[in-house]
């Protein structure tokens, strides 16, 4: 499954199911236990966009801090540095955060699954 996020003033943003689902969980549009059917379509209103962008930025900071702590702990124990995903959450969410900010400025909603 793909998530295709659309708005009137930006290009479409397409994410694979695991990545799109994670973004939607971070911004509170779906709960982690919800089925894929409940996340198949939805809307982000302009008044929700600032909070959504802030939630994504906080998740990025949290993930980077956890990774740095894991690296430091491994070095302290004289173990190999752990490997992380090749594409970070920061890289995955940057286009979505940009989309959120542009849509917030123009007052356009973001939809998916419609």
Percent pLDDT > 70 in the chain is 96
Beta bridge pairs of residue 111: 6, 43
pLDDT given at position 40: 81
At 87 the three-state DSSP class reads coil
Rounded-to-10 torsion of CA 103, 88, 35, 56: -40
Cα angle 23-56-67, degrees, rounded to a multiple of 5: 95
pLDDT given at position 36: 66
> What does the pLDDT look like over 16-32, one tens digit per residue?
999 999 999 999 998 77
In this prediction, residues 43-63 reach a mean pLDDT of 97
> What does the pLDDT look like over 65-110, one tens digit per residue?
999 999 999 999 999 999 998 899 999 999 999 999 999 999 999 9
Does the structure show a pLDDT above 80 at 34? no
> What does the pLDDT look like over 1-19, one tens digit per residue?
899 999 999 999 999 999 9
In this prediction, residues 58-66 reach a mean pLDDT of 96
């Amino acid at each position: 499954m793909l998530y295709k996020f659309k708005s009137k003033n930006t290009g479409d943003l397409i994410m694979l199911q695991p990545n799109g689902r994670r973004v939607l969980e971070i911004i509170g549009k779906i709960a982690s236990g919800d089925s894929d059917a409940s996340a198949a379509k939805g809307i982000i209103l302009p008044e929700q966009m600032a909070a959504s962008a802030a939630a994504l930025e906080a998740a990025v900071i949290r993930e980077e801090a956890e990774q740095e702590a894991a690296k430091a702990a491994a070095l302290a124990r004289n173990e190999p540095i752990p490997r992380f995903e090749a594409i970070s959450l920061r890289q995955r969410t940057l286009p979505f955060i940009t989309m959120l900010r542009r849509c917030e400025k123009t007052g356009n909603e973001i939809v998916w699954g419609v």
